[in-house]
A and B are shown apart, each in its own frame.
Chain A
């Protein structure tokens, strides 16, 4: 066979195979025009690529975040190399893991769930849940708001809305309401609900630590906002995690009602104002005591080491059990925060809060009006200012004052005189920071009434401290 014939036949066969294979691969066969099929295929491929891209760009199903606060208390004046009667160490000059928290959460439209655990070494190694929330929110397309009481910078300020502002607000605003059940921050005031990693100072004010120790409590909460209005209403156990008597538990069936109503808006460009009033009411718990038996006590009054039946033995009679009781407690407060953007430097934050309470101290001098036979009135306030020094540094100063018992009295030889039990703290802090880390130095100058001077009068027990904190977020 001549060569050209052989080549032609091979080309024919190849063309036939190719045509046949393509025809077999097409469905429907022969009758469909090739051009629309290709267009359809390209559209399909493009759609699949777009979906894959969207999947890649979408957040993980569960968002995980956290932070670590590692403190070095360089010195604290009240620190001693000694132990208490309960054999608790009195040394405070130490390295301490103040908090290491990890949080997992997922926003699923109408529902949002979150769980956060905390590890620390404040009183020895400890791991515990601090935040667990099951939330229903509406509208579903608005994201879960972590700080619904605060101003949202994505929201256009009132009176300056341009085209498309309504759409932007819908995407950026907090939900109209979120109903949450679980373990969450008590919605009272500004500082109690503020996250530890956002605060310019190391710890909250004495007032907040006494009235709402560690903030987290169990209950049900409704929180939300409309335009600049903000509201929160909670029904809580009334025994936060830092409660000195029944932490995280509720010894009585009565529940505490807590609320905050306020607003947050940008007045002008570079000037944001947030504020509100809060209230809390409920019943506290005075624990009864079990019955005791008669006791015989020996007091070696003549120090001879021998029991003298006639003078050194005394009977301490037993007592019947006493019932537990509950008592009324409440708090009202007001808070205000202003943010002013200064050229070159950055934001200047000014904040203040005042709380008047009755029988609500649960963390410092635990209120028990049944034991004291009178109500214990508390008054606390703080004022603070912090200034960003570009985005790399921040300095702040805060003064806080707390009086655990405004009616305290003391018996002196010839008169009963008022006793000032109040304590106050000047906190000076400076921080260097990046987007994910902070190094904070803070000096606290404290005044209290825990010591006595040579004349026997109450005076300040020296308790100043200087602390360094390393913080990393992830």
Chain B
């Protein structure tokens, strides 16, 4: 019995050795710093040999936000090129994109046009985008390096910023309950509460600022490209306990939405949470008090 099992294992290993070499491996490359939709990912550094064709021109916007998915890069290559390799210096791998038709203005130069996304986990800073042409025999050419300044994910400035962001066209709403009991949400966007008429005239110097909700993103399933809402205090925020909830107004046809909540006090992260909204979350009231609890934090 033991011999039979050993023979079976040896047989499998023989098949693996015989058949599994010199083939491209499946890899989504989700942990790479840049991601190219539809391209082939290779989890290895680019070869050192540079005897292949050159990149003639390469145009790349020098600035991108972490989490941005529409970064464009285009240019043309020497005639022998059949593909272009693109990756960030120091990344876990690179991407291969087939070369395209030449332009009428340069009929002998294959072109390339790449749209890539910058991972949301990329720390802000300057990076080098490495571009290398590849010929039909797989030889890489010399590197063309373009700088890319990765800015932090777009977030308004303020002493206290509580942000909600999500990943698709769903209509999610941020609810923040202040220590005073006031709740900021799309139907009450400011902390300032206008006194009732019976209270008499409002003193001209009475505070009218405080926390503000900046927008109702994807309201009524009209996509606005933001997919984020922020409660911002430009001055010192009230001290005490804050409760943050996420209300799923509608998934707008999506099966689910993945959200993330983050709180920054004077630029420092003081709390965060993430979760998933499903169809069940849309079935409740969407007024004051709505939503699932995402975060509780104390502001000193």
Interface of A toward B, CB cutoff 8 Å? 74, 77-80, 82, 87, 90, 295, 297-305, 411-414, 428, 441, 443, 445, 451-457, 459-464, 466
11 additional A-B pairs beyond A82-B30, A411-B100, A455-B137, beta carbons within 8 Å, are A303-B64, A303-B151, A443-B11, A451-B24, A452-B83, A453-B96, A454-B42, A454-B85, A460-B24, A462-B25, A464-B15
- A77-B25 in contact (CB<8A): yes
Minimum CB–CB distance for B147 against chain A, Å = 14
30 residue pairs A–B, Cβ–Cβ below 8 Å: A77-B26, A78-B26, A80-B26, A87-B256, A90-B28, A297-B225, A300-B225, A302-B61, A303-B61, A303-B63, A303-B64, A305-B154, A413-B111, A441-B8, A443-B12, A451-B26, A452-B40, A452-B83, A453-B40, A453-B96, A453-B138, A455-B82, A455-B83, A456-B84, A456-B99, A457-B98, A459-B23, A462-B24, A466-B12, A466-B15
Minimum CB–CB distance for B232 against chain A, Å = 14
Determine if B20 is an interface residue (Cβ-Cβ < 8 Å): yes
Residues of B within 8 A of A82 (CB): 28, 30
Interface of B toward A, CB cutoff 8 Å? 8, 11-12, 15-16, 19-20, 23-28, 30, 39-40, 42, 61, 63-65, 68, 70, 79, 81-85, 96-102, 110-111, 134-138, 140, 151, 154, 223-225, 255-256
- B151-A460 in contact (CB<8A): no
A462 in contact with B26 given A302-B61, A455-B82, A456-B97 (CB within 8 Å)? yes
Question: When chains A and B are docked, how far (Å) is the Cα of A453 from the Cα of B23?
Answer: 8
Question: When chains A and B are docked, how far (Å) is the Cα of A193 from the Cα of B215?
Answer: 60
Question: When chains A and B are docked, how far (Å) is the Cα of A461 from the Cα of B22?
Answer: 10
Residues of A within 8 A of B64 (CB): 303
Question: When chains A and B are docked, how far (Å) is the Cα of A302 from the Cα of B39?
Answer: 24
Question: When chains A and B are docked, how far (Å) is the Cα of A65 from the Cα of B115?
Answer: 56
Contact of B134 among A414, A443, A455 (CB under 8 A): A455
Residues of A within 8 A of B99 (CB): 412-413, 456
Minimum CB–CB distance for B260 against chain A, Å = 16
- A456-B151 in contact (CB<8A): no
Q: DSSP class of A's interface residues: helix, strand, loop or mixed?
A: loop
Residues of A within 8 A of B134 (CB): 454-456
- B42-A456 in contact (CB<8A): no
- B15-A445 in contact (CB<8A): yes
Minimum CB–CB distance for B77 against chain A, Å = 8
- A77-B63 in contact (CB<8A): no
Residues of B within 8 A of A302 (CB): 61, 63
Question: When chains A and B are docked, how far (Å) is the Cα of A437 from the Cα of B100?
Answer: 56
Residues of A within 8 A of B136 (CB): 455, 457
Question: When chains A and B are docked, how far (Å) is the Cα of A74 from the Cα of B13?
Answer: 12
Max chain B C-beta neighbours (<10 A), residue from A79, A301, A413, A428: A413
Residues of B within 8 A of A460 (CB): 23-24
A445 in contact with B19 given A77-B26, A413-B101, A454-B138 (CB within 8 Å)? yes
Closest residue of chain B to A463, judged by CB? B26
Residues of A within 8 A of B11 (CB): 443
Minimum CB–CB distance for B143 against chain A, Å = 15
Residues of A within 8 A of B140 (CB): 454
A462 in contact with B225 given A443-B15, A455-B137 (CB within 8 Å)? no
Residues of A within 8 A of B100 (CB): 411, 413
